[in-house]
Structure 1
Amino acid sequence: MSMHRTAQLPRARGSGRYSHPVSILPGFHAANRTFFARDVLDVAPELLGCVLQRTDGDGTVSIRITEVEAYAGERDPGAHAYRGKTNRNKTMFGPAGHIYCYFTYGMHHAINLVAAQPGQPYGCLIRAGDVIEGAELARTRREKKPRKKSLPELRLASGPGCVAQCFAADLTNDGDDLFDGQWQFLLPDDHATVAHVTGPRVGLSGPGGDGAVFPWRYWVKEAPSVSTYRPGRLPSSTPRPPRTGQSGNVV
């Protein structure tokens, strides 16, 4: 017998899609918008250990977050919104608790959760997590192309593109509301900031990639799902930091 609490959510506004009954995992409760309506540097580390969940016509996938990055708009040269509002990033300028989904590197989608107040284009990139519900559905979405070996379950959602694939998220989900539709964000009943590590964000060059100034990547130490660190492109004469997912400052 399932121990999940279920609820029927209303039709997602503006999406043309109907929501489906969603489950509240044992030991968790639904967050509210106030949780996200804070400075992104306060929100980001508190996402670790929380669960992002989507329920659609195919079923439910729930991912417990193990790695995030914070982006702080006009005060952050690594952010999409650093130079202002565009049609691509306009969701970031809206209310907290919405999904900013974008297409990157010509092949992947990525999911950001909007934080702070309207007009402050701040958000948290979901980089990795553990699939704790709907693993087979997530695997089907991740393994559409033939593979020599099946993906280990703890690597299904390792990397932002993989997270988006597990949720079948694409540009049609840009602007989705975490509190009205197919998505839910769940906090542990005993929610507290988990022990984590901080360091430079992945793949950023220039000032935004300086980990001494912007150590805004947060991850659960030794979590197998955490993605591998990759520095941004630097001049050939500049020494590169190591490619690893496990170096940084312990918090």
Structure 2
Amino acid sequence: MDFYLQQDVVHVAKDLLGKVLYTHIHGVICAGIITETEAYAGITDRASHAYGNRRTARTETMFQQGGISYVYLCYGMHHLFNVVTNQKDIPHAVLIRAIQPYAGLDTMLQRRGARQYHQQLLNGPGKLSQAMGINQSINAQSLQGEQVWLEDKSIDVPDACIEATPRIGVAYAKEDALLPYRFVVKTQLQP
């Protein structure tokens, strides 16, 4: 649990690379190795939903103690999965942007309407949520629960394989849009 309570959300975003995200939906377990993340640093980060201490029905989850999920609907059609971090009332979160399949690939393919695995199957936050069966019913769920959880399988992610870039789709955040808060694994990981 201490992992989720760390104060540096950027460090957590980078450290989540190589961790395995699991879901247990309708009796089926799916899992993916996290390969891309974005950090959102709460009330001081113009790209964050909680910027300026904005507390709404949607953002209230971000203000809870770290270790729970924050799932929201983007553009009215894509569910995006985030890991809430830090202490209660410090609304930090890490968006999980991409995964590499680890378990339940047949179910992921079916949910995505695909016949076979390809590099673009799980390379976006909406795509991975669809494949993993994630929707708003998972919002505010413990990440140590029975429906959604993360595991450290000691998958090696060398620093040389990680690229830090600005986040995607947050141009409205002005200079905060340029912060190198997005982390991408540049190679296929070996479980």
TM over 0.5: yes
Alignment of 1:180-191 (within 5 A): 180-189=145-154
Q: Which of residues 31, 42, 50 in structure 2 aligns to 1:73?
A: 42
Mapped to 2, the partners of 1:151 and 1:200 lie a distance apart of: 31
Following TM superposition, by how much is the alpha carbon of 1:102 offset from its aligned partner in structure 2, in angstroms?
A: 0.1
Q: In the alignment, is the contact (CA less than 8 A) between 1:157 and 1:163 conserved in 2?
A: yes
Give the aligned residue type for 2:79.
H
Higher relative contact order (CA 8 A, sep 6+): 2
Q: Which of residues 7, 19, 25 in structure 2 aligns to 1:50?
A: 19
Mapped to 1, the partners of 2:25 and 2:32 lie a distance apart of: 15
Q: In the alignment, is the contact (CA less than 8 A) between 2:47 and 2:177 conserved in 1?
A: no
Q: Which of residues 99, 108, 114 in structure 1 aligns to 2:69?
A: 99
1:239 aligned partner = none
Larger radius of gyration: 1
Is 1:129 the equivalent of 2:99?
yes
State TM-score, norm by structure 1.
0.69
State TM-score, norm by structure 2.
0.89
Q: Percent identity?
A: 32
Which structure carries more helix by proportion?
2
Mapped to 2, the partners of 1:101 and 1:47 lie a distance apart of: 17
Q: Which of residues 146, 152, 169 in structure 1 aligns to 2:134?
A: 169
Q: Which of residues 33, 41, 50 in structure 2 aligns to 1:64?
A: 33
Alignment of 1:34-45 (within 5 A): 34-38=2-6, 39-45=8-14
**RMSD of aligned alpha carbons:** 2.0
Distance change >3 Å, CA 61–CA 154, structure 1 → 2 = farther
Distance change >3 Å, CA 151–CA 210, structure 1 → 2 = same
Unaligned runs of 5+ in 2: none
Is 1:203 the equivalent of 2:169?
yes
Mapped to 2, the partners of 1:208 and 1:51 lie a distance apart of: 32
Q: Which runs of 4+ in 1 moved over 4 A?
A: 190-194
